[in-house]
Structure 1
Amino acid sequence: MLAMIIITLYPFVYVLMSSLSDSRLLLSHTGALFWPQGFTVSAYTLVFQNPNILRGYGNTLFIVVLGTLLNLIFTCMGAYVLSRKGVPWSKYVMLLIVFTMFFSGGMIPSYLLVNNWLHLGNSLLAMIIPGMISTWNLIILRTSFASIPESLVESAKIDGAHDFTILSRVVIPLSLPVMAVMVLFYGVSHWNAWFSAMLYLRERDLYPLQLILREILIQNSTEYMTNQSSAGEIESVGESIKYATIMVATLPILFVYPFMQKYFVKGVMIGSIKG
Structure 2
Amino acid sequence: MTASKKRFSISQAIFHTIFIAFCTFTTIPFLLTIMVSISGESSVFKNGYSLLPETFSLDAYRLLFAGDEIWNGYLISIIVTLSGTVLGLFLSAMLANAMAMPKVKYRNVIALIIFITMIFNAGLVPWYIFVTKYLHLKDTIFALILPMLINPFNVFLIRNYFKSLPPALLESAEIEGAGPFYSFTRILLPLSGPIIATVALFISLAYWNEWGLALWLIDSRELYPLQFMLFKVQSMINFMSSQGNTISGSQTLPSETAKMAMVLVTIGPIMLVYPFIQKYFVKGIMIGAVKG
Give yes or no for TM over 0.5. yes
Please tell me the residue identity of whatever aligns with 2:32: Y
Question: How many angstroms apart in 2 are the aligned matches of 1:24 and 1:139?
Answer: 51
CA, structure 1 residues 166+233, in 2 after alignment: closer, same or farther (shift >3 Å)?
Answer: farther
CA, structure 1 residues 273+240, in 2 after alignment: closer, same or farther (shift >3 Å)?
Answer: closer
CA contact (8 A) 1:216 1:222 kept: no
Structure 2 SS opposite 1:261: helix
**TM-score, length of structure 1 as denominator length:** 0.89
Alpha-carbon offset, residue 249 of structure 1:
1.3
Please tell me the residue identity of whatever aligns with 1:89: Y
Matched ranges for 1:41-190 at <5 A: 41-190=58-207
Name the stretch that deviates more: 35-44 or 190-199.
35-44
Query: Over residues 106-147 of structure 1, what are the superposed CA-to-partner deviations in whole Å (9 max), with x where a residue is unaligned?
Result: 111111111111000111211211221110110011111122
Question: How many angstroms apart in 2 are the aligned matches of 1:236 and 1:38?
Answer: 15
What's the counterpart of residue 42 of structure 2? 24
Alpha-carbon offset, residue 179 of structure 1:
0.7
CA, structure 1 residues 243+7, in 2 after alignment: closer, same or farther (shift >3 Å)?
Answer: same
Question: How many angstroms apart in 1 are the aligned matches of 2:250 and 2:187?
Answer: 59
What's the counterpart of residue 226 of structure 1? none
Name the stretch that deviates more: 235-244 or 149-158.
235-244
Alpha-carbon offset, residue 22 of structure 1:
1.5
RMSD: 2.2
Alpha-carbon offset, residue 93 of structure 1:
1.1
> 5+ residue gaps in structure 2?
1-17, 241-245
CA contact (8 A) 1:215 1:221 kept: no
Q: Percent identity?
A: 35
What's the counterpart of residue 210 of structure 1? 227
CA contact (8 A) 2:92 2:154 kept: yes
CA, structure 1 residues 210+236, in 2 after alignment: closer, same or farther (shift >3 Å)?
Answer: closer
Alpha-carbon offset, residue 240 of structure 1:
2.7
CA contact (8 A) 1:222 1:238 kept: no
Please tell me the residue identity of whatever aligns with 1:211: F
Query: Over residues 223-269 of structure 1, what are the superposed CA-to-partner deviations in whole Å (9 max), with x where a residue is unaligned?
Result: 6xxxxx96049536454333222211112112322332332322222
Alpha-carbon offset, residue 215 of structure 1:
2.4
Name the stretch that deviates more: 233-242 or 55-64.
233-242
Higher relative contact order (CA 8 A, sep 6+): 1
Structure 1 SS opposite 2:51: coil
Question: How many angstroms apart in 2 are the aligned matches of 1:122 and 1:221?
Answer: 27
Q: Which has the larger radius of gyration?
A: 2
Please tell me the residue identity of whatever aligns with 2:260: Y
CA contact (8 A) 1:64 1:187 kept: yes
Alpha-carbon offset, residue 43 of structure 1:
2.9
CA, structure 1 residues 186+233, in 2 after alignment: closer, same or farther (shift >3 Å)?
Answer: farther
Question: How many angstroms apart in 1 are the aligned matches of 2:33 and 2:239?
Answer: 17
Alpha-carbon offset, residue 42 of structure 1:
3.8
Question: How many angstroms apart in 2 are the aligned matches of 1:233 and 1:252?
Answer: 35
Name the stretch that deviates more: 175-184 or 10-19.
10-19
Please tell me the residue identity of whatever aligns with 2:35: M
CA, structure 1 residues 129+89, in 2 after alignment: closer, same or farther (shift >3 Å)?
Answer: same
Query: Over residues 178-233 of structure 1, what are the superposed CA-to-partner deviations in whole Å (9 max), with x where a residue is unaligned?
Result: 1111110101110000112211111222111111222233553586xxxxx96049
Structure 2 SS opposite 1:220: helix
Question: How many angstroms apart in 2 are the aligned matches of 1:109 and 1:270?
Answer: 36
Question: How many angstroms apart in 1 are the aligned matches of 2:62 and 2:270?
Answer: 21
**TM-score, length of structure 2 as denominator length:** 0.84
CA contact (8 A) 1:18 1:37 kept: no
Question: How many angstroms apart in 1 are the aligned matches of 2:235 and 2:65?
Answer: 20
Question: How many angstroms apart in 2 are the aligned matches of 1:253 and 1:37?
Answer: 30
Query: Over residues 34-57 of structure 1, what are the superposed CA-to-partner deviations in whole Å (9 max), with x where a residue is unaligned?
Result: 022311234324433421111110
